[in-house]
Structures are given as C-alpha cells and as structure tokens.
C-alpha cells in the first residue's frame, strides 16, 4: 500500500491537528490515543512516512528503528506503567483492523488489559 500523506497521524506530525503529546525525539512522536482502551493508552509513531510495521522493517534506517524501539519503553516509563506491566500492539492491514495507515504501536496499561485476542470460534 502506498503511503497516504493525508492520514490523520501525518496531519498530527505536521501540526495540522493537535495531540496530547507524551514524548518526542528526532525520529518518534508519542501521544495519547483519542479513544483510550485502557487507563493508559499511548500511540508511538515514527516521524518517517511508513504505512505499517512491514514497511518500516523493510525501509527504515537503523537509526529510526533504534529510536522507535527505545521510545516504546520510554513512554511506558514516563507513564508509570513499567512496574505493573503493559501491552504493545501494532495492527497491520485488513485482518487486524488497522484504521490509520501510518505505523503506530499501541502501548496499553494502567490496569489488566484482558486476553490477547478474541478466541477463535
Ligand atoms: P489502529 O486501528 O489503526 O491500530 O488504531 C488507530 C488508533 O488511532 C485508534 O486507537 C484511534 O482511537 C486512534 N486515533 C484515531 N484518530 C485519532 C486522532 O485524531 N488523535 C489521536 N490521538 N488518536 C486517534
């Protein structure tokens, strides 16, 4: 899938729409999810134009991958959920119901977050 520069996270990165920022560095931005699914629900995104994890793994620089990996645990520390535990999820494509076509990690915690996935029928 080609990257759509008009997706909502691209607009957040350009400052065209606001976000509740948690953390930022040269390669990443982290902000609160607008519809939280847990007491703490943060989205960590790369600043580069990557559709999803597969695109990022194939095309991002080592520096971008390093920064992204570090940002995920850093926001957990900043949010106070490191000790109690949290879940990191990335949806990729149709079967996962990825809504926003810009790579993002969901960082969820602050309370037990339930089973990993819907069980198969
Ligand atoms: P996905 O289904 O693509 O993995 O998750 C997209 C996430 O982005 C959803 O959890 C949704 O609540 C969040 N989201 C969608 N639009 C906005 C927005 O404008 N601002 C913020 N902060 N989060 C958003």
User: Is 100 close to ligand 1, i.e. is its CB under 6 Å away?
Assistant: yes
- pLDDT (0 to 100) of residue 118: 77
- pLDDT (0 to 100) of residue 120: 73
HSE value, Cβ hemisphere, 13 Å, CA-based, for 53: 13
pLDDT in tens, 40-73: 999 999 999 999 999 999 999 999 999 999 999 9
Domain boundary assignment for the chain: 8-109
When pLDDT is cut at 50, 70 and 90, the band that residue 121 belongs to is low
The pLDDT of residue 23 is above 70: yes
Q: Which of 27, 41, 102, 104 is catalytic?
A: 104
- Give me the helices (H) in 35-112, please: 53-59, 62-78
pLDDT in tens, 70-102: 999 999 999 999 999 999 999 999 999 999 999
User: Is 98 close to ligand 1, i.e. is its CB under 6 Å away?
Assistant: yes
Ligand 1 atom at minimum distance from 11 CA: 19
- pLDDT (0 to 100) of residue 52: 97
Ligand 1 pocket test, candidate residues 1, 6, 8, most atoms within 8 A of CB: 8
- pLDDT (0 to 100) of residue 35: 98
Ligand 1 atom at minimum distance from 101 CA: 3
Q: Is 104 a catalytic site residue? A: yes
Distance set, CA 64 to CA 21, 38, 99 (Å) = 19, 27, 23
In percent, the amount of the chain with pLDDT more than 70 equals 99
- Across the range 10-35, mean pLDDT stands at 98
For residue 117, the CA-to-ligand 1 centroid distance in Å is: 19
| CA torsion, ordered 113, 118, 91, 75, to nearest 10 deg | 10
The CATH code of the domain at 8-109 is 3.30.428.10
């Amino acid at each position: 899938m080609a990257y759509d520069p008009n997706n909502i996270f691209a607009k957040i990165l350009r400052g065209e729409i606001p976000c509740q920022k948690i953390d930022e560095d040269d390669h990443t931005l982290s902000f609160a999810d607008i519809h939280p699914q847990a007491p703490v629900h943060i989205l960590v995104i790369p600043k580069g134009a990557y559709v999803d994890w597969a695109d990022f793994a194939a095309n991002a620089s080592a520096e971008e991958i390093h920064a992204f990996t570090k940002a995920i645990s850093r926001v957990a520390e900043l949010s106070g959920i490191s000790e109690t535990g949290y879940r990191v999820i990335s949806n990729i494509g149709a079967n996962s119901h990825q809504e926003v076509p810009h790579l993002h990690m969901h960082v969820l915690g602050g309370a037990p977050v339930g089973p990993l996935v819907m069980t198969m029928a």
